[in-house]
């Protein structure tokens, strides 16, 4: 057993159709690949048609699975409705939605234009609630069960300087996740979230640790488990939360960050830097 291996039995998602927003790159692509390996039909969408079409072609070759790529800007409700229509035309029914698309960059907040703030919140929060509303209304009208899985971050509840628009957007998504878990439970619609710590992707690393920052602030160094995340371990968790194996879990947010956020909040976490000799000295002083 290893955290870099898939943990589900083959065919676990046979007959299920899952939509992943931002599914052509990074974590969305990795989670999609695993769902395809498990037999799911996959719908991927994002703004860049060429990127998702290329990803769909590669994913078909890598897994032998069925992938539909539909270009969509999740900030445009009619485009979101079109993705759902296309998914149903291709595969009959949508069973799960993975709200993964996001936008982010680092900046002191006072340097942001109001448009820069809007652009991130619009993708992260407005985009997520548009997709959720369109899919939820569709499921409710047809009396179908469904499962939402939203990708947030640990700073959705702590907040974080230098990524304030993203923190505001993700906090909203967290509220959406928990609110609808209760309100839509009567329709057999579940709503959960995952809060990942650092998982290397081109999209995140280029925007959040540009240039020398990645060397200066190695994320692995501040994580108690001393490493960043592996895409497969996130894919295992996503598959579980989207699947019927988690049928009794709703409104939950699962953190997968090697202990990072708790360590950063722990008053005395800095004592990790104390050498053994210093602890010996302190012990002598005490006696
Ligand atoms: C300050 C910036 C900026 C930056 C853009 N803007 N980048 N301001 N610092 N680095 C401002 C622009 O000046 C402009 O405002 C406004 O934002 C819109 O910029 P555009 O380039 O026109 O926007 P657009 O082409 O729509 O691109 C959106 C984007 C881009 C969010 C800026 O980065 C993007 O496409 N991102 C999608 C993918 C992504 O971000 N992935 C990372 C997710 S990682 P003005 O006023 O000048 O017009 C993540 C991890 C979280 O979320 C947790 C990690 C642990
Ligand atoms: P990524 O590859 O940049 O993924 C973001 C995706 O969102 C892209 O495919 C992008 O495609 C899509 N997107 C952006 N704006 C969109 C819009 N308006 N409409 C539709 N799609 C849009 O980055 P990632 O690291 O894999 O991030 C995936 C998710 O994980 C995000 O929710 C992020 O916040 C979260 N996360 C990541 C980390 C990490 O360490 N990587 C940590 C915590 C949380 P287009 O540009 O083609 O639209």
State the DSSP string of the chain.
--TTS--SPTTTTTT-EEEEETTTSHHHHHHHHHHHHTT-EEEEE-S-HHHHHHHHHHHHHHH---EEE----TT-HHHHHHHHHHHHHHHS---EEEE---------GGG--HHHHHHHHIIIIIHHHHHHHHHHHHHHHHT--EEEEEE--THHHH--TT-HHHHHHHHHHHHHHHHHHHHTGGGTEEEEEEEE-----HHHHHHHSTTTHHHHT-GGGGSTTSS---HHHHHHHHHHHHSGGGTT--S-EEEESTTHHHHHH-TTGGGGG--HHHHHHHHHHH-
Ligand 1 centroid–CA 117 distance in Å is: 9
Q: Which of 34, 129, 130, 155 is catalytic?
A: 155
β-pairing, 96-99 vs 67-69, is: unpaired
107 CA: nearest ligand 1 atom: 9
Domain ranges (residues) in the chain:
17-286
In this prediction, residue 287 carries a pLDDT of 86
Domain 17-286 matching CATH 3.40.50.11540: the answer reads no
C-beta 232 within 6 A of ligand 1: no
Going by C-beta distance under 8 Å and a sequence separation of 6 or more, which residues neighbour residue 241? 147, 149, 192, 194, 249, 252, 254
Q: How far is CA 109 from CA 157, 189, 198, in A?
A: 18, 37, 22
**Position of tokens 């967290």?**
174
166 CA: nearest ligand 1 atom: 52
Ligand 1 centroid–CA 39 distance in Å is: 34
Gap between the Cα atoms of 98 and 150, Å rounded: 6
Gap between the Cα atoms of 228 and 242, Å rounded: 23
For ligand 1, atom 36, name the residue with the nearest CA.
103
Ligand 2 centroid–CA 57 distance in Å is: 20
Gap between the Cα atoms of 47 and 70, Å rounded: 9
- Which of 22, 121, 123, 167, when mutated, tests ligand 2's pocket best, judged by the most ligand atoms within 8 Å of its CB? 22
- Cβ–Cβ under 8 Å, residues 27 and 199: yes
C-beta 255 within 6 A of ligand 1: no
For 34-67, write each residue's pLDDT tens digit. 999 999 999 999 999 999 999 999 999 999 999 9
Ligand nearest to the Cα of 127, by number? 2
228 CA: nearest ligand 2 atom: 40
Gap between the Cα atoms of 23 and 41, Å rounded: 13
Ligand nearest to the Cα of 77, by number? 2
Gap between the Cα atoms of 25 and 113, Å rounded: 27
Describe the crossing of helices 114-121 and 164-183 by its angle, rounded to 10 degrees.
Answer: 30
β-pairing, 67-69 vs 189-196, is: unpaired
C-beta 114 within 6 A of ligand 1: no
pTM over 0.95: yes
47 CA: nearest ligand 2 atom: 48
CA triplet 52, 56, 61: central angle to 5 degrees? 150
C-beta 214 within 6 A of ligand 1: no
Residue 155 annotated to the active site: yes
Ligand nearest to the Cα of 155, by number? 1
Ligand 2 centroid–CA 276 distance in Å is: 42
For 114-156, write each residue's pLDDT tens digit. 999 999 999 999 999 999 999 999 999 999 999 999 999 999 9
Q: Which two tokens stand for residue 228?
A: 């960043």
In this prediction, residue 15 carries a pLDDT of 97
Residues in the chain with pLDDT values less than 70? none
């Amino acid at each position: 057993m290893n955290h870099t291996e898939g943990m589900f039995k083959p065919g676990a998602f046979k007959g299920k159709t899952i939509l992943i927003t931002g599914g052509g790159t990074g974590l969305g692509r990795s989670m999609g690949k695993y769902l395809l390996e498990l037999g799911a039909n996959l719908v991927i969408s994002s703004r860049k048609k060429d990127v998702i079409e290329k990803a769909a072609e590669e994913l078909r070759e890598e897994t032998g699975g069925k992938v539909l790529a539909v270009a969509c800007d999740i900030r445009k409700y009619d485009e979101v409705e079109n993705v759902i229509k296309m998914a149903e035309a291709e595969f009959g029914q949508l069973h799960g939605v993975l709200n993964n698309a996001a936008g982010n960059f680092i900046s002191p907040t006072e340097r942001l234009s109001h448009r820069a703030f809007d652009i991130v919140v619009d993708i992260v929060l407005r985009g997520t609630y548009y997709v959720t509303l369109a899919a939820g209304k569709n499921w409710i009208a047809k009396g179908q069960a469904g499962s939402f899985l939203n990708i947030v971050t640990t700073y959705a509840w702590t907040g974080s300087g230098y990524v304030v628009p993203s923190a505001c957007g993700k906090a909203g998504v967290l509220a959406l996740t928990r609110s609808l878990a209760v309100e839509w439970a009567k329709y057999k619609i579940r709503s959960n979230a995952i809060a990942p710590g650092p998982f290397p992707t081109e999209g995140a690393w280029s925007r959040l640790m540009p240039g020398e920052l990645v060397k200066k602030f190695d994320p692995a160094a501040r994580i108690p488990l001393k490493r960043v995340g592996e895409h497969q371990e996130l894919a295992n968790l996503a598959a579980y939360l989207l699947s019927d194996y988690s049928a009794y879990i709703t409104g939950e947010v699962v953190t997968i960050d090697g202990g990072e956020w708790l360590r950063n909040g722990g008053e005395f976490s800095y004592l990790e830097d104390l050498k053994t000799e210093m602890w010996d000295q302190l012990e002598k002083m005490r006696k």
